[in-house]
């Protein structure tokens, strides 16, 4: 008997208590009941981590490794391609002089680096797009810990391949081999799926948005530290030693998950990884609205799709534009060195922490939807400033204006989680992880192609484009909130 069959014979009252609501806010006795009952699978024992933290260190260490590698690998590609083409433009005095016409050789280096970033990203994330749904849905049956361990081992193998490329001066195409190994193991998106599903397993509806925001703050804190350390370390000792640290942190993350993370799902020994059941569960969730679709009918299913679309657009902008920041900073008129690039990357990741604080404050007087809209407005304004930045001061001003830019994603994850039943949390976050993989693919493809194509007339156009398309999720979230408020007012008036 599988878990779904077991869940079907449990008392109806348990399902009634755990049933999610299509609205974000509930009142009276229902709110108190939801706040005290974790939305975990009905067959899941109430396992709680005895430590003050659960999966936060796993996400922190994994993100530290990723944030340490990402800007350094782009800089390494820039240096290797520059060396092959005989370009040393960053050392020229006129590099920061905006009146000097762009060097054709610099444009070629920028274009090749952007294209190699695209190829490497596409290789890894295309495999992850296939593997992550299997791992995410599989974790709903066998537990979250395997999905936290396996991808970290794959990321460690990727770091090892990168080290070999640097030691032996191998062609940069071998970077693609490392990304493929990581993609086969689920990549970082599988870790995200496991961690957020774990939080959904062990949190109640009232606290879930903030718990998700804490996880995202872990992303920001680790990314900020890794960016500062990576920039200074690369300037002092080159590229190889920081990648050894990335390798060690991935192994430490896997070891922590194995030793200390308490399982939140009762494992099913008969569960299989390679089965069509995982994709069928995902199809059922989005085609019918899941087991709770009868509560809201077509509107319920529409909200599931619309919030997923908003999440897709927001994450695509975040990931796509982030890959261009290093290129934008390396070239004229900014011409930043490793230290400034590290500080710039740290400023980007600081938005995770400031968004967490802002979300906590704004939740006192605003509903979650309006918190997300404010976060998107902050992101839009910051990207517009970055698009015209031609000095270091203006660039950091753009980063500063993005201080609430990460407030939207935890709200959207929480909204999606509240739209599905307790037995569908794992399937949902498998789908969200799949969407994130698609975001990496689309973001890398669009922005790495758009950047070299617009160099000649507006270097910052991709950031302006990103700001414009963020108006789409802001409008959708605001519209859905207004419709919910109108429906609640109509129901209250009718009663």
Q: Is the pLDDT higher at 280 or at 8? A: 280
Confidence of residue 95 (pLDDT cuts 50, 70, 90): low
Q: What is the pLDDT of residue 371?
A: 94
**Does the pLDDT at position 16 exceed 50?**
no
Q: What is the mean pLDDT of residues 199-203?
A: 83
**pLDDT for residue 440 is more than 90:** no
Has this prediction a pTM greater than 0.75? no
pLDDT value of residue 407: 93
Asked whether the predicted pLDDT for residue 37 surpasses 50, the reply is no
- What local confidence, expressed as pLDDT, does residue 423 receive? 67
Domains of the chain: residue spans and CATH:
52-87+103-261+287-494 (1.20.1250.20)
Share of the chain above pLDDT 70, in %: 81
* pLDDT confidence of residue 284: 73
Residue 294 has pLDDT above 50, yes or no: no
The rounded mean pLDDT for the chain is 80
Residue 101: predicted pLDDT = 62
Average pLDDT rounded to a whole number, residues 235-262: 92
| Mean pLDDT, residues 211-233 taken together | 85
Give a three-class secondary structure readout of the chain. CCHHHHHHCCCHHHHHHHCCCCCCCCCHHHHHHHHHCCCCCCCCCCCCCCCCCCCHHHHHHHHHHHHHHHHHHHHHHHHHHHHHHCCCHHHCHHHHCCCCCCCHHHHHHHHHHHHHHHHHHHHHHHHHHHHHHHHHHHHHHHCCHHHHHHHHHHHHHHHHHHHHHHHHCCCCCHHHHHHHHHHHCCHHHHHHHHHHHHHHHHCCCCCHHHHHHHHHHHHHHHHHHHHHHHHHHHHHHCCHHHHHHHHHHHHHHHHHHHHCCCCCCCCCCCCCCCCCHHHHHHHHHHHHCCCCHHHHHHHHHHHHHHHHHHHHHHHHHHHHHHHHHHHHHHCCCCCCCHHHHHHHHHHHHHHHHHHHHHHHHHCCCCCHHHHHHHHHHHHHHHHHHHHCCCCHHHHHHHHHHCCCCCCHHHHHHHHHHHCCCHHHHHHHHHHHHHHHHHHHHHHHHHHHHHHHHCCCCCCCHHHHHHHHHCHHHHHHHHHHHHHHHHHHHHHHHHC
What is the percent of the chain with per-residue pLDDT over 90, rounded to a whole number? Answer: 31
When pLDDT is cut at 50, 70 and 90, the band that residue 99 belongs to is low
pLDDT at site 228: 79
pLDDT band at 323 (very low <50, low <70, confident <90, very high): confident
Looking at 216-220, 291-295, 371-375, 467-471, which range is the least confident one?
A: 291-295
Task: For 371-421, write each residue's pLDDT tens digit.
Answer: 999 999 999 999 999 999 999 999 999 999 999 999 999 999 999 988 887
Give pLDDT, residue 396.
95
pLDDT tens profile 144-175: 889 899 999 999 999 999 999 999 999 989 99
- The pLDDT of residue 345: 81
Express each pLDDT in 258-275 by its tens digit.
988 888 777 777 767 666
């Amino acid at each position: 008997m599988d878990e779904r069959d077991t869940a079907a014979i449990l008392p109806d009252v348990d399902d009634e208590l755990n049933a999610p609501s299509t609205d974000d806010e509930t009142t009276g006795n229902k709110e108190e009941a939801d706040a005290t009952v974790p939305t975990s699978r009905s067959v899941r024992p109430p396992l709680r981590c005895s430590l003050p933290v659960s999966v936060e260190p796993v996400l922190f260490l994994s993100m530290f490794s990723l944030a340490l590698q990402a800007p350094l690998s782009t800089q390494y590609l820039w240096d290797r391609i520059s060396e092959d083409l005989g370009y040393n433009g960053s050392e020229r005095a006129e590099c920061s002089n905006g009146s000097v016409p762009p060097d054709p050789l610099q444009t070629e280096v920028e274009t090749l680096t952007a294209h190699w970033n695209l190829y490497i990203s596409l290789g890894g994330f295309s495999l992850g797009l296939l593997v992550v749904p299997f791992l995410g849905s599989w974790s709903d049956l066998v537990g979250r810990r395997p999905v936290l361990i396996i991808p970290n081992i794959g990321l460690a193998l990727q770091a090892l391949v990168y080290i070999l490329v640097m030691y032996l001066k191998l062609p940069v195409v071998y970077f693609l081999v490392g990304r493929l190994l990581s993609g086969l193991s689920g990549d970082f998106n599988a870790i995200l799926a496991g961690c957020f599903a774990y939080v959904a397993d062990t949190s109640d509806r009232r606290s879930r948005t903030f718990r998700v925001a804490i996880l995202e703050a872990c992303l920001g804190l680790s990314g900020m530290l890794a960016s500062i350390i990576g920039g200074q370390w690369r300037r002092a000792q080159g590229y190889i030693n920081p990648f050894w640290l990335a390798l060690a942190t991935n192994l430490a993350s896997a070891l922590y998950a194995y030793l200390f993370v308490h399982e939140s799902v009762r494992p099913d020994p008969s569960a299989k990884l390679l089965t069509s059941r995982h994709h069928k569960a995902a199809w059922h969730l989005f085609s019918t609205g899941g087991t709770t679709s009868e509560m809201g009918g077509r509107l319920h299913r529409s909200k599931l799709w619309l919030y997923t679309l908003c999440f897709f657009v927001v994450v695509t902008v975040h990931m796509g534009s982030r890959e261009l920041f290093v290129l934008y900073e390396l070239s004229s008129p900014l011409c930043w060195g490793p230290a400034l690039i590290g500080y710039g990357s740290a400023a980007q990741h600081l938005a995770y922490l400031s968004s967490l604080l802002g979300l906590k404050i704004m939740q006192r007087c605003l509903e979650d939807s309006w918190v997300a809209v404010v976060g998107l407005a902050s992101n839009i304004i910051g990207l517009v400033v970055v698009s015209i930045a031609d000095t270091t001061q203006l660039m950091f001003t753009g980063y500063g204006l993005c201080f609430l830019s990460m407030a939207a994603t935890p709200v959207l994850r929480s909204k999606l989680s509240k739209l599905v039943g307790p037995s569908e949390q794992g399937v949902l976050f498998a789908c969200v992880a799949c969407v994130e993989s698609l975001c990496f693919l689309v973001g890398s493809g669009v922005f790495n192609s758009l950047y070299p194509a617009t160099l000649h007339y507006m270097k910052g156009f991709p950031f302006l484009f990103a700001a414009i398309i963020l108006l789409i999720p802001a409008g959708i979230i605001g519209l859905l909130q207004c419709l919910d408020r109108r429906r609640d007012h109509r129901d209250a008036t009718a009663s």
